[in-house]
């Protein structure tokens, strides 16, 4: 929360040249995560952080959370009476801790105008591409998606996950597409993979 360099859990180094006082001047504030200790109930979020988020929201900044960062926006009161989402593993806890938030556990992200929330890592990519598309247009968002090798657009209302059985081979690994096709297709010199070619 103070300017400086810190290391994150996966080993990335984050350089933060600005402190919380700069949030009021930001156009967009993104809260990526909250500490696991907060989620386990072992510590509170910093009052300075919550005050800075409130001031930024009050100054007109677009407020964005990725995955469990939504807990910081909720704790700051920025989600009161508004729809929001989080990773499905956290939505029940979010609803229990902050009953004034209208939690939707079935969507990838929620765009409520000046407050946007998302579910999980890939949902975070979807939301960030949505923001780029909204701010800079579809062409730029499509170029970025291509660079990231992700779909250019998945609507926020898409389900977070679909329970679906995946075929498994005798050794426990999933079968390949060609393996499934070749075992279910009669052998014929005129048959090629993929179907329709050849």
Distances (CA, A) of 130 to 66, 144, 153: 13, 11, 7
User: Does the residue 98 lie in any domain?
Assistant: yes
* Residue of higher predicted confidence among 151 and 83: 83
Task: For residue 30, give both structure tokens.
Answer: 């993104």
**Domain containing 96 — which CATH number?**
3.40.50.880
Task: For residue 169, give both structure tokens.
Answer: 């081979």
User: Does the residue 195 lie in any domain?
Assistant: no
How many structural domains are present in the chain? Answer: 1
- State how far the Cα of 8 lies from the Cα of 34, in Å rounded to an integer: 12
User: Does the residue 172 lie in any domain?
Assistant: no
115-118/109-111 β-pairing: antiparallel
Name the DSSP class of 175.
Answer: P
Mean pLDDT of the chain: 83
Express each pLDDT in 31-49 by its tens digit. Answer: 988 988 999 999 999 999 9
User: Does the residue 153 lie in any domain?
Assistant: no
User: Does the residue 159 lie in any domain?
Assistant: no
Distances (CA, A) of 121 to 75, 97, 176: 21, 22, 26
Q: Which pLDDT value is given to residue 17?
A: 83
User: Does the residue 177 lie in any domain?
Assistant: no
Give phi and psi for 50, each to the nearest 5.
Answer: -65, -40
Please give the residue range of the domain that contains residue 17: 9-148
Contacts of 25 (CB under 8 A, 6+ apart): 59
User: Does the residue 126 lie in any domain?
Assistant: yes
Residue 80: count other Cβ atoms within 10 Å of its Cβ: 11
User: Does the residue 87 lie in any domain?
Assistant: yes
Express each pLDDT in 95-116 by its tens digit. Answer: 999 999 999 998 989 999 999 9
């Amino acid at each position: 929360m103070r300017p400086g360099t810190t290391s994150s859990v996966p080993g990335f180094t984050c350089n933060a040249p600005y402190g919380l006082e700069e949030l009021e001047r930001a156009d967009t504030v993104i809260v990526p995560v909250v500490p696991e200790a907060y989620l386990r109930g072992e510590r509170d979020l910093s009052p300075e952080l919550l005050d800075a988020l409130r001031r930024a929201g009050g100054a007109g900044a677009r407020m964005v959370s990725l995955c469990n960062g939504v807990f910081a926006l909720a704790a700051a009161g920025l989600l009161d009476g508004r729809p929001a989402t989080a990773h499905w593993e956290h939505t029940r806890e979010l609803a229990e801790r902050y009953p004034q938030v209208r939690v939707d556990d079935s969507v990838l992200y929620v765009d409520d105008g000046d407050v946007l929330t998302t579910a999980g890592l890939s949902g975070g990519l979807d939301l960030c591409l949505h923001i780029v598309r909204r701010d800079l247009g579809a062409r730029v968002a499509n170029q970025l998606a291509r660079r990231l090798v992700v779909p250019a657009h998945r609507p926020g209302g898409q389900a977070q996950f679909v329970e679906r059985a995946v075929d498994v081979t005798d050794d426990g690994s999933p079968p390949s597409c060609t393996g499934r096709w070749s075992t279910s297709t009669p052998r014929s010199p005129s048959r090629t993979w993929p179907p329709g070619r050849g």
